[in-house]
Amino acid sequence: MCRYNRESCYIGTSFSSNDYLCSMSHSYPIITLKAGKEKTVLQKHPWVFSGAIAKEPSNLQEGDIVGLHSSSGHYLATGHFHKGTILVRCFDYSNRTIDASVWEEKISSAINYRKALKLIDSNSTNAFRLIHAEGDGFPGLVVDVYGNTAIVQCYTKGMYLARHDIAEAIKKCFPSKITAIYDKSAETMAKQGAVAGTDGFLWKNENHVNDEFVVENGIKFSIDFINGQKTGFFIDQRDNRTLVKHYSKGRSVLNTFCYTGGFSLYAIEGGATKVHSVDSSKKAIEGVERNMLLNFPDANHESFAEDVMTFFRKTEENYDLIILDPPAYAKHLSQVKNAMVGYRNLNTEGLKRIKPGGILFTFSCSQAVDKELFRKVIFQAAVQAGRNVRIMHQVTQPADHPVSIYHPEAEYLKGLVLFVE
């Protein structure tokens, strides 16, 4: 049992072995911090950087569970070891063995939170995020639910090694909802250079049948979780799609980087007079057409399999409402400078194509680009386009993509809704 003066940790006073009493760590390899580096761990920030480490065992393997100790030898946290700048990702702060009961406890907490959000057993929405990495205490793991199937995607080897235990915990804690659990980690793990694996079902009930489509706020989407991007759908734009619906009545709408047409479908349902969907992927455009037929077969909709910037330069048409939702331009801090050029050029073109009195929805999902930097680049684009712009809304990810108060870096999605004169 560990006791410490929690308040002193938050107001920045020095850390002392007299502040708390701790038991010895369980039988995990011990990583020891440098003196004075324990404060962020006591504040439950899950990342421990290599520069904070005083001592580590020489035989550690990628993904090993480790105990994190202060310089004076007291237990602080349990996490996964990873070779790189972030050496340990902490997922537990109790000095205990990590067994099935721990994963069940954490999964139950995530389920209870989604129940509070009214996402469990909703009649209008059956696609949501069940586990959102650090936001739910699972660094390196996301789990999305599409109807009766849970899609597991691991971003660290530690969570990859735990995926079968986590799947068992989902089965036990969520028995009435889930009839299959699919692992889609091969691509993400290959990018980490950690594992060469294949995607496939971790578990499937003998009576399981893949849902033909999922439903989000009453709109049907055909989801290809096996071959689609990420886990098959961008759930994180659910609330922002609803906002597009709110402003679409009587407007012509352009949806760029449309993927499978989420914003386009909401615009049609909101009463848009015309919707154009643009994506460089022909496969994505096929998904748009398929989803449009599922919901609005007679809609005034046209799709274009074309690069967005090429489309902007070729088209002579202006629109009442434009959505700019590009992929992440900067996945690392080293890419931010080039990303800012990309965001500025894209938004300048978008602002040029908005009719007076029109609305621009613009987004960045780059974690390395914070809200202030994003606003700055939109300011530059407005100046360059010569348009008068007001901010109507500042938006982010939905509540099932929670941000831990201890880990603000998890707020990756930022967006601005702009009124353009």
Q: What's the per-residue H, E or C state across the chain?
A: CCECCHHHHHCCCCCCHHHCECCCCCCCCEEEECCCCCHHHHCCCCEEEHHHEEECCCCCCCCCEEEEECCCCCEEEEEEECCCCEEEEEEECCCCCCCHHHHHHHHHHHHHHHHHCCCCCCCCCCEEEEEEHHHHCCCCEEEEEECCEEEEEECCHHHHHCHHHHHHHHHHHCCCCCCEEEECCHHHHHHHCCCCCCCEEEEECCCCCCCCCEEECCEEECCCCCCCCCCCCCHHHHHHHHHHHHHCCCCEEEEECCCCCHHHHHHHHCCCCEEEEEECCHHHHHHHHHHHHHHCCCCCEEEEECCHHHHHHHCCCCEEEEEECCCCCCCCHHHHHHHHHHHHHHHHHHHHCEEEEEEEEEEECCCCCCHHHHHHHHHHHHHHHCCCEEEEEEEECCCCCCCCCCCHHHCCCEEEEEEEC
What is the pLDDT at residue 330? 64
Nearest Cα residue to 416 out of 356, 343, 320: 343
The 10 Å Cβ neighbour count of residue 366 is: 25
Give the span between the Cα atoms of 107 and 346, in whole angstroms.
40
What is the pLDDT at residue 384? 96
pLDDT in tens, 219-235: 999 988 887 776 778 99
Give the span between the Cα atoms of 26 and 11, in whole angstroms.
30
| Sequence-separated (6 or more) residues with CB below 8 Å from residue 39 | 9, 12, 15
What is the pLDDT at residue 283? 92
Nearest Cα residue to 185 out of 166, 204, 168: 166
pLDDT in tens, 349-359: 999 999 999 99
pLDDT in tens, 275-327: 999 999 999 999 999 999 999 999 999 999 999 999 999 999 999 999 999 98
Among 2-16, 19-33, 78-92, the range scoring the smallest mean pLDDT is 2-16
pLDDT in tens, 40-83: 999 999 999 999 999 999 999 999 999 999 999 999 999 999 99
Domains by residue range for the chain, with CATH: 6-92 (2.30.130.10), 100-204 (3.30.750.80), 234-420 (3.40.50.150)
What is the pLDDT at residue 413? 94
Q: Is the pLDDT of residue 395 over 70?
A: yes
Give the span between the Cα atoms of 343 and 66, in whole angstroms.
40
Question: pTM above 0.85?
Answer: yes
Mean pLDDT of the chain: 90
Query: 175 or 189, which is more confident?
Result: 189
- pLDDT-based confidence at residue 26 (cuts at 50, 70, 90): low
Q: Is the pLDDT of residue 245 over 90?
A: yes
Q: Is the pLDDT of residue 15 over 60?
A: no
Q: Is the pLDDT of residue 129 over 90?
A: yes
Query: 277 or 24, which is more confident?
Result: 277
- pLDDT-based confidence at residue 209 (cuts at 50, 70, 90): confident
What is the pLDDT at residue 368? 82
* Mean pLDDT (whole number) for 363-391: 93
What is the pLDDT at residue 128? 96
Q: Is the pLDDT of residue 367 over 90?
A: no
What is the pLDDT at residue 366? 84
| Sequence-separated (6 or more) residues with CB below 8 Å from residue 14 | 36
What is the pLDDT at residue 4? 31
Give the span between the Cα atoms of 301 and 248, in whole angstroms.
14
- pLDDT-based confidence at residue 10 (cuts at 50, 70, 90): very low
Give the percent of the chain with pLDDT over 90. 78
* Mean pLDDT (whole number) for 206-215: 87
pLDDT in tens, 323-332: 999 988 767 6
Give the percent of the chain with pLDDT over 70. 92
What is the pLDDT at residue 232? 74
- pLDDT-based confidence at residue 6 (cuts at 50, 70, 90): very low
Whether 167 and 108 have beta carbons less than 8 Å apart is answered as no
What is the pLDDT at residue 3? 31
